[in-house]
A and B are shown apart, each in its own frame.
Chain A
Amino acid sequence: MTTTTAAGQLESGAARSGVRAGFGHLMLAEWTKIRSVRSTAWTLILFVIITIGLTALFTWVTIANWTGLHAAPRDARALADPTSIIFGPSIYLGQLTICVLGVLLITTEYSTGVIRASLLAVPKRFPMLGAKIAVFAVLMTVLAEIVVFCSFFVGSAILHSRVSVSLSDSGVLRSTVGAGLYLTVFGLFAMAIGALVRHTAGAISIAIGVAFVLPILAGLLPDTSFFNHLVAYLPQQAGSVVYQVHPTGSQLLSAWEGFGVLCIWTALLLAIATYLLDRRDA
């Protein structure tokens, strides 16, 4: 702690030996940020437990209360569209944890002041946000695909005694892959809201509003062509088509069209967030 040691280390020239930083370095830095806070681990553990757990719970409840094709509408649905039992409740609630993580990754930068350190290190706003988006997208794609496939195998194994469903059935593989992609993109959608709002509570409220409240409100709208189109293009409604074998909604959009609509919403919000990050004082 004396100036003598300071002199020795300051002049070591170690800082000069590094290479010029590229986008890969920025992604590595964002990965360090993501993995070095506890909230990441907690939200992802909850995500795994909720998603796979709810699949197991709902498929088990279905089998345990099995009364036959004509007796219960749920049993009929299980026979007609088993993936809706496997993914319906689990993805719907599992996305909650991903929303929270997506929001936290950006709003905690503001609440703790790290955003200033981040922007001093990477003064160009677009690469900074871009690296964060890329790392979160890669992490989520890998993890969400693993989780939804686990979910599928757990669910189909429990259903097996009454209903047979396999990945080779029409639309099932697409639904399973789609469920993982939907969770990833919805996490990015929440991240964009976090970047726009910059406050944790506000951003989580809005993200949950879009994921949970809008679908309820949409159900109250009159059944006209105009409102059906409006509802079909909402982020959650459009995106959720991709993990349904037999879509429950108005079926105005095909699975990949719906997913595309969610991607466009997300890209739009991320573009606005990047523009505002550049314009606003940090």
Chain B
Amino acid sequence: MIEARDLSKRFGDTLAVDHLSFTVQPGRVTGFLGPNGAGKSTTMRMILGLDHPTGGTATINGKPYAQLTSPLRTVGALLEAKSVHTGRSARNHLMFLAQTQGLPSSRVDAMLDLVGLRDVAKKRAGAFSLGMGQRLGVAAALLGDPQVLLLDEPVNGLDPEGVLWIRNLMKHLASQGKTVLVSSHLMNEMAVTADHLIVIGRGKLLADAATADVIARGSGQSVRVRTPEPGRLTELVTAEGGKAVLADTPPGDGGSAAADEAPVLTVTGLPAARIGELAASASVVLHELTPQLASLEDAFLELTSDSLEFGHLDSAQLDSQPAQAADGGVR
């Protein structure tokens, strides 16, 4: 179990982590989500005793990291930043870590087999690809068979096979009753990996809830309705207390019949079944009736919209920027 209590970290004038409190429970994968610069890595580094908190405490199984005897047997960590000497072989890197914990060399070889690095174990780690480096990091994290795992952006730069491998590994470890905290700025990855989410923005806690709840709390459920009579359906929906908005969907929008040029309404506040009943009772023809699940991405953007490190750019701004750059080039 990982506990952060009132955890704060100040770098100069910036409060990178702002009185953060949360608990990470064993037996499930907890996603640590936030935009770049939200304070995820700093929080993890404070939990791991690498950075000193400006205020508050972080404990693992009730103890600060520095008080752990044989810490690698309690906590395994994969940091985003490189932590391997480029001139040292993978095996020697794991070997010195094992020796600090009194672990046998057989454990090093078992980990090299586990992550598939046995054939390159004697090669310099500096010659490793990003994916191989990440596998070595996972081997180091699992070396002491720890009960608690902290993984900082573990799937960054991995190919699809590697992403799947990490995802399955995390789920497997959680199923063994281990505590797994994994940070990411990739919402979709967290949606399929994490059972529970801790969302932060600008160092502040934004949400600490089950992944499904975070999604549900987002924009809410909506229903996509395609009908040749949008006016009549809008009246019916509004009369029932719902809200219908005409979506400016281009003809042949993916997902629905390509030839259908009937307008699309996005209805909120009413379940799909009720909309179908309303349409049937008034004999309004429907071409499509699809409940839309709010994605974690929507929920995340909504939660963090006030707390982005960088100002929000809307599409109009993005579109205008290349034009400005081109002007500058001419002058």
Give the interface of A toward B (CB within 8 A).
Answer: 1, 3, 5-7, 9-22, 25-26, 28-30, 32-33, 36-39, 108-109, 112-117, 119-124, 279, 281-282
For B70, give its contact among A21, A28, A108, A115 (CB under 8 Å). A21
A12 and B81 contact, CB distance less than 8 A:
no
> Could you tell me the distance in whole angstroms from the C-beta of A208 to the nearest C-beta in chain B?
23
Residues B85 and A112 in contact, CB atoms below 8 Å apart: yes
Residues 80-100 of chain B, each 1 if its beta carbon lies under 8 Å from chain A, else 0: 011111111100110111111
Q: Which of B105-113, B196-204, B217-225, B320-328 lies on the face that meets chain A?
A: B105-113
Q: 0/1 per residue, B108-149, Cβ < 8 Å to A?
A: 001101101000000000000000000000001011110000
Q: Are A17 and B104 in contact (CB under 8 A)?
A: yes
Would B81 and A116 count as touching, CB distance under 8 A? yes
Q: Is the CB of A113 within 8 A of B92?
A: no
A231 to chain B, nearest CB (A): 39
Q: In the complex, which residues of chain A have a beta carbon less than 8 angstroms from the beta carbon of B111?
A: 9
In the complex, residue of chain A having the shortest beta-carbon distance to the beta carbon of B75: A120
For A7, the chain B residues whose CB sits under 8 A away are 172
**Contact call A37/B88, Cβ cutoff below 8 A:** yes
Min CB distance, B79 to chain A, in Å? Answer: 6
- In the complex, residue of chain A having the shortest beta-carbon distance to the beta carbon of B65: A123
Q: Is B68 an interface residue (CB 8 A)?
A: yes
Listed from nearest, the 8 A-B pairs whose CB atoms lie closest are A15-B145, A36-B92, A29-B99, A21-B102, A32-B96, A121-B100, A116-B83, A117-B83
Give the CA-CA distance A108 to B83 in the complex, in Å: 11
Give Cα A107–Cα B54 distance, bound, in whole angstroms. Answer: 26
Could you tell me if A36 and B96 are in contact, using CB atoms closer than 8 angstroms?
yes
Known: A21-B100, A120-B71. A1 touches B83 (CB 8 A): no
Contact of A119 among B50, B89, B116, B168 (CB under 8 A): B50
Q: List 12 A-B contacts (CB under 8 A).
A: A10-B176, A15-B103, A18-B101, A22-B102, A25-B100, A32-B95, A32-B99, A33-B85, A33-B96, A108-B85, A120-B71, A123-B66
Chain A nearest CB from B257 CB (Å) reads 40
Contact across chains for B142 and A10 when beta carbons are under 8 A apart: yes
CB-CB under 8 A from B87, the residues of chain A are: 37-39
Interface size on B, residues (CB 8 A): 56
Question: Which residues of the partner chain A approach B96 to less than 8 Å between Cβ atoms?
Answer: 29-30, 32-33, 36
Other-chain contact of A18, B88, B92, B107 (Cβ < 8 Å): B107
In whole angstroms, what is the CA distance A5 to B106 when docked? 16
Q: B259 CB to closest chain A CB, in angstroms?
A: 44
Residues of A within 8 A of B71 (CB): 120-123
Known: A18-B102, A36-B96. 5 other contacts (CB 8 A): A14-B104, A18-B98, A116-B81, A122-B71, A123-B71
* Nearest chain A residue, comparing its CB with the CB of B178: A10
Residues of chain A contacted by B77 (CB below 8 angstroms): 120
Complexed CA–CA distance, A20 and B72 (Å):
12
Q: How far is the CB of B35 from chain A (nearest CB, A)?
A: 22
Complex CA distance for A30 and B97, rounded to whole angstroms: 10
Least CB distance, A39 to chain B, in whole angstroms: 7
Say yes or no: A113-B48 contact (C-beta < 8 A), given A17-B104, A18-B107, A29-B100.
no
Q: Is the CB of B116 within 8 A of A12?
A: no
- Pairwise interchain contact B172-A114, C-beta atoms closer than 8 A: no
Q: Could you tell me the distance in whole angstroms from the C-beta of A251 to the nearest C-beta in chain B?
A: 45
CB distance from A128 to the nearest CB of B (A): 9
Query: What's the nearest-Cβ distance from chain B to residue A108, in Å?
Result: 6
**Distance of A22 Cα from B110 Cα, bound (Å):** 23
In the assembled complex, the Cα of A32 lies from the Cα of B99 at a distance in Å of 9
Contact of A25 among B65, B79, B101 (CB under 8 A): B101
Q: Which residue of A lies closest to B172 (CB)?
A: A3
A36 cross-chain contacts in B, Cβ below 8 A: 88-89, 92, 95-96
Chain B residue nearest to A22 (CB atoms) is B102
Minimal Cβ-Cβ distance residue in A for B9: A281
